Amino acid sequence: MKEFIQYLPKVELHLHIEGTLEPELMLKLAKRNNIHIPFKSIAEAKDAYNFHNLQSFLDIYFQGAEVLINEQDFFELTWAYLLRCKDDNVLHTEVFFDPQTHTERGICFDTVVNGIHRALIKGTTELGISSKLIMCFLRHLDEESAFKTLAQAQSHKDKIIGVGLDSTEIGHPAGKFERVFIQAIEQGFLTVAHAGEEGPASNIHDALNLLKVTRIDHGVRCSEDEALIKHLVTERIPLTVCPLSNIKLKVFNSMEQHNIVTLLRKGVCVTINSDDPAYFGGYMTDNFFAVTNAHSMNKTEIAQFSLNAIYASFISDSKKEQLRIVIQKYLDVHQ
């Protein structure tokens, strides 16, 4: 089973590139860019990764991102992540980035996008990993800042497929960004949003109704609303679930109590993702291991996570079909 999971072809749909900053690279970039960080060693950094909720994580995550200054830094960050994808047999990934985390510090929007994009292109040509890039607005900032960020994205529409919404969920309702999302949709961007991670199931309704998103990031608190679960099943609205993240940020007390397998068996289009793997203790395969160690599952069910992610992805129908065939063949050979 371990080997089956390790080599299972995977698709990742919920990954913050800033959350892949491993302590080793953080220390290297801090030195190279002469940026002060409060950690002297990898062990010291890892010791600080003890979170009690989303905000306590976000504070450390934004601090870590301060070492990213030049295009080459964003390139190296993204390239390191893609090498991890290769190890985990991730064939396609949809990567989030938070432009405001950088532009607020005086880093140029173009520097961020160009560095990430250059690595994604190299990932396709040298590693055979396809990708899409999604720009997230920080929900703790205001609507004006989001509009400004959307304007900055106009000259990068060839590189950015969609917009998302992340950062502090509680106290920052989706409605604050309704007008920004409407404009983004008019401009041709696809839309996703974090909802129902720390916040209640009603936040998932708001993301669907106000922001017109086609998939929900996290969404695990849908369990509080049976009618919503039915709606997710009948409309086949995907959830990009992040199991290790949810445990680290205390959304669930233990992986045994996580609802991803229950949701899968109810017919919800749930997927497995790593969110911020450098901070939460694992990339894609580790997340699959964590779920399957805590919940007894057969191979067909485990492969369904990959099939769901293919369905939920922003790739063309023909590429989806190609990937489905890859999964089916893998299942046939390894059953």
Q: How buried is 91 (Cβ within 10 angstroms: 0-12 exposed, 13-18 middle, 19+ buried)? A: buried
Among 111, 276, 288, 327, binds ligand ADE (CB under 6 A): 276
Q: Of ligand ADE, Zn ion, none, which one does residue 76 interact with (CB within 5 to 8 Å by kind)?
A: none
Q: In the bound complex, what is the minimum distance in angstroms from residue 33's beta carbon to Zn ion?
A: 25
Q: Of Zn ion, ligand ADE, none, which one does residue 92 interact with (CB within 5 to 8 Å by kind)?
A: none
Amino acid identity for residue 2 in this structure: K
Among 84, 275, 308, 312, binds ligand ADE (CB under 6 A): 275
Instruction: Using the minimum distance from each CB to ligand ADE, give the nearer residue, 194 or 258.
Output: 194
Residues between 136 and 165 with contacts to ligand ADE, criterion CB under 6 A: none
Piece of 37-45, 201-209, 263-271, 273-281 that binds Zn ion (CB under 5 A): 273-281
| 275 part of the interface to Zn ion, by CB under 5 A | yes
Question: DSSP for 149-195?
Answer: HHHHGGGGTTT--EEEEES--TT--GGGGHHHHHHHHHTT-EEEEEE
Instruction: Using the minimum distance from each CB to Zn ion, give the nearer residue, 88 or 276.
Output: 276
Q: Of ligand ADE, Zn ion, none, which one does residue 19 interact with (CB within 5 to 8 Å by kind)?
A: ligand ADE
Q: In the bound complex, what is the minimum distance in angstroms from residue 166's beta carbon to ligand ADE?
A: 4
Mask for 236-255, x = binds ligand ADE (CB under 6 A): ---------x----------
Residue 79 makes CB contacts below 8 A (sequence gap 6+) with: 119, 122, 123
Decide if 192 contacts 216 (C-beta within 8 A).
yes
180: left (phi over 0), alpha (psi -120 to 50) or beta: alpha
- The token pair at 146 is 């989001």
| 12 part of the interface to Zn ion, by CB under 5 A | no
Decide if 149 contacts 100 (C-beta within 8 A).
yes
| 18 part of the interface to Zn ion, by CB under 5 A | no
Instruction: Using the minimum distance from each CB to ligand ADE, give the nearer residue, 8 or 54.
Output: 54
Using CA atoms, how far apart are residues 153 and 133, in angstroms rounded to an integer? 12
Q: How buried is 156 (Cβ within 10 angstroms: 0-12 exposed, 13-18 middle, 19+ buried)? A: middle
Q: Which of 12, 197, 224, 256 is catalytic?
A: 197
| 16 part of the interface to ligand ADE, by CB under 6 A | yes
197 is catalytic: yes
Instruction: Using the minimum distance from each CB to Zn ion, give the nearer residue, 18 or 275.
Output: 275
Using CA atoms, how far apart are residues 175 and 80, in angstroms rounded to an integer? 36
List residues bridging with 11 in a β-sheet: 92
Decide if 170 contacts 218 (C-beta within 8 A).
no
Using CA atoms, how far apart are residues 300 and 332, in angstroms rounded to an integer? 10
Piece of 34-42, 55-63, 252-260, 271-279 that binds Zn ion (CB under 5 A): 271-279
DSSP at 89:
T
Which residues in this chain contact ligand ADE in the complex, by CB under 6 A? 16, 19, 54, 61, 166-167, 194, 197, 245, 275-276
Residues that bind Zn ion (CB under 5 A): 275
**Residues forming the active site:** 197
